[in-house]
Amino acid sequence: MAMNNQNIKDFIQAVASKLPGELVREKEPLADHTTFKIGGPVDVFVTPRTIEELSFVMQMIDRYQIPLTILGLGSNVLVRDGGIRGAVVSLARMTTVKSCKEGVMTMGSGFLLKEVSEFALANSLTGLEFAVGIPGSLGGAVFMNAGAYISEMSRVVTAVWTVDAKGACRKYTTGEFDFAYRHSVFQHTGEVIAQVEMTLETGDAYEIQALMEDLTRRRESKQPLEYASAGSTFKRPEGYFAGTLIEETGLKGLSVGDAQVSEKHAGFVINKGHASACDVLTLIGQIQDKVYEAHGVQLEPEVRLLGIDK
C-alpha cells in the first residue's frame, strides 16, 4: 500500500477530530505495548474504544491508504527493531461491552483473558478456566485460537463481530470460524475482531475457582513469568513437544545478547533486560538449526513477526 508523510499527517488530523488526543499517538515505541518489551516505533498508534470508533478509524485508514497492523495486548508477537510503518490500531481499550445472560457472555475484544475467565467465574459459568493463565486479549485469543492444558477458544466461541478494511461491520457465527490449531479464519480476512460471544455451561463456582487456581499454580511453577516474553516461542510439532526437543538438545540457557532460552521452560525465549528483536531472531534460528540437526524436526515459530529491520 502506497504511503507518504502527507498521508500520515492527514490521517492523524482526521482521526484526532473524532478521538481524544491521548488515543492517537505519533512515533510510539512498540516495546511499551508488547509482552516481549521489544520493538521500534510506529508512525501512528491508535486505540479506539468502541465499534463505532474502530469503524471510523478503519474508514480513514482506507481513505488515506495507510498500511495497517492490528495489535491486541501485544503477546505472541515480536516487533522488529525498526518498528512498523503506517498505523498500529491497538484493541487494548475495546472494553466497553461486557454482558452475560443465560450462559452467553459478550465482551469487547480488548479484555484480558484473565478478566474474561474471572467474569465467567463471577457468573458461575464453566468452560473458560483454561484461559486464566494465557497472556493477551480476548480478540487475540480468538484470532490465534489460543488454548492451554485442557481446552481452546474454539470450544466456547459462538459469535464474533468484526470491522473490515473499509469500516463495515459483520457478524460471524458457528461454522464460519475455520478454527484449527492456533488458526482461525480471521488470520486471512483482514478484518478486525471487535466483540466476541461465548456460550458456556452453568457450573459450581467453587469448583470453577479451584480449577482456575490449580491452572494458575501450574503455570507459575513451569513458566518463566518473571521475565518478558511473547509466550510459547514455537508451535507444537506433530508428535512432539517443542520445549522437550529443545531441552533434549541441551539448549536451556543458550543466549544471544539478552535473549535466552529459559532455564525454567525451554519452550520460552525470554528477554533478560535489553534484548533486541535481532537477538531473538538469531537465537530462534540457532534453536531451529540445532533441533533439526539433533532430531530431524523443523520447529515453526508461534510468535508473529511484525515490522522492519533497523
Same domain, 104 and 214: yes
pLDDT in tens, 82-136: 999 999 999 999 999 999 999 999 999 999 999 999 999 999 999 999 999 888 8
> 94 near 108, Cβ under 8 Å?
yes
Whether 3 has a pLDDT exceeding 80, the answer reads no
pLDDT of residue 297: 97
Whether 2 has a pLDDT exceeding 80, the answer reads no
66 band by pLDDT with thresholds 50, 70 and 90: very high
pLDDT in tens, 132-191: 988 889 999 999 999 887 789 999 999 999 999 999 999 999 999 999 988 999 999 989
Whether 1 has a pLDDT exceeding 60, the answer reads no
* Residues marked as catalytic: 182, 232, 302
What is the overall mean pLDDT for the chain?
A: 94
Domain at 9, CATH number: 3.30.43.10
Q: State phi, psi for 307 to the nearest 5 degrees.
A: 90, -165
Q: Chain-centre distance of CA 290, in angstroms?
A: 28
Taking CB atoms within 8 Å and a gap of at least 24, the contacts of 236-242 are: 236/181, 237/297, 237/298, 237/299, 237/300, 240/295, 240/297, 241/267, 242/267, 242/299
Same domain, 103 and 218: yes
Same domain, 32 and 60: yes
263 band by pLDDT with thresholds 50, 70 and 90: very high
Same domain, 162 and 211: yes
CA–CA distance, 96 with 141 (Å, rounded to integer): 18
What is the chain's alpha carbon radius of gyration, rounded to the nearest angstrom? 20
Question: The domain containing residue 75 runs over which residues?
Answer: 2-90
pLDDT of residue 12: 94
- Residue 223's Cβ-count burial label (10 Å; 0-12, 13-18, 19+) is buried
pLDDT of residue 5: 85
pLDDT in tens, 236-259: 999 999 999 999 999 999 999 999
* 135-151 burial: b if 16+ Cβ within 10 Å, else e: bbbbbbbbbbbbbbeee
Q: Per DSSP, what are the bridge partners of residue 137?
A: 112
% the chain with pLDDT above 90: 88
pLDDT of residue 219: 86
> 163 near 192, Cβ under 8 Å?
yes
The total number of structural domains in the chain stands at: 3
Which residues fall within 8 angstroms of residue 221, CB to CB, at 6 or more apart? none
pLDDT of residue 182: 87
Whether 220 has a pLDDT exceeding 90, the answer reads no
The pTM score is: 0.89
pLDDT of residue 264: 95
Distance in Å from the first CA to the final CA of the chain: 20
3-class DSSP state for residue 178?
coil
Domain at 263, CATH number: 3.90.78.10
Same domain, 108 and 162: yes
Q: What is the mean pLDDT of residues 14-37?
A: 95
CA atoms within 13 A on the CB side of 201: 7
Closest CA to 242 of 301, 289, 183: 301
Tell me the three cell numbers of residue 167. Answer: 469500516
Matching residue, cell 503455570 = 219
3-class DSSP state for residue 116?
helix
